[in-house]
Amino acid sequence: MLRHVLAVSAMTACAIVPAWAAPENFDLDPAHTYPSFEINHLGFSVMRGTFNATTGQLVYDQEQRAGSVKATIDASSIATGFGKRDEHLRSKDFFNVEKFPTLSFAADSFRLEADQPVAVAGALTMLGLTKPVTLQVQPTKCGNRPDKQYVCGAIVTAQIKRSDWGLTAYVPFVGDDVKIQIEVEAMRQ
């Protein structure tokens, strides 16, 4: 789930790049890109988690109003704050990280309003299944960090049904609907 979120975040960050004469290339900043998720737990509470290892690239051409995003999440980097649960999430019941070590997102369709990206349509691959996902994008800003690296940021969100990718363990007790949010920073190459 989170891998999809990371991929979407990368696409979103690329979409907020200011106009340039040629396409701009960006890398997701793994130290400042945070894919997270929320899921209902037995109706009593919401369980939250993150994926802590994400990589990706994006290309955005403001003049052509087009771009592409590719992101990959290390499934074994899932973290919920409780070690035993994290191990269970890595098991065959859920992400089966031995067989499917990564989640990935790829997109090449941006929807813009007032020259700002508001959505990215692409494909999320998880547990060997690839399904369409549209990410909502809220650009934050682009500019130079104190280290002079040019960066664009965004908040990317989506909601998916985990069962669409074969993550069916404990449904309906553990929710099927997964809210995804990704804080993204992408660095210009």
What is the per-residue pLDDT across 90-117, written as a single tens digit (0 to 9) for each?
A: 999 999 999 999 999 999 988 888 878 8
DSSP state of 8: H
What is the per-residue pLDDT across 11-20, written as a single tens digit (0 to 9) for each?
A: 455 545 454 4
> Taking the domains of the chain in order of start, what are their residue ranges?
2-188
DSSP letter for each residue of 99-162 = T--EEEEEEEEEEEETTEEEEEEEEEEETTEEEEEEEEEEEEEEEE-TT--EEEEEEEEEEEEG
Note the CATH architecture for domain 2-188: Beta Barrel (2.40)
Cα 11 from Cα 165, distance rounded (Å): 21
Kindly report whether the global pTM for this prediction surpasses the value 0.95: no
Beta bridge partners of 47: 39
* CA 167 and chain centroid, separation: 18
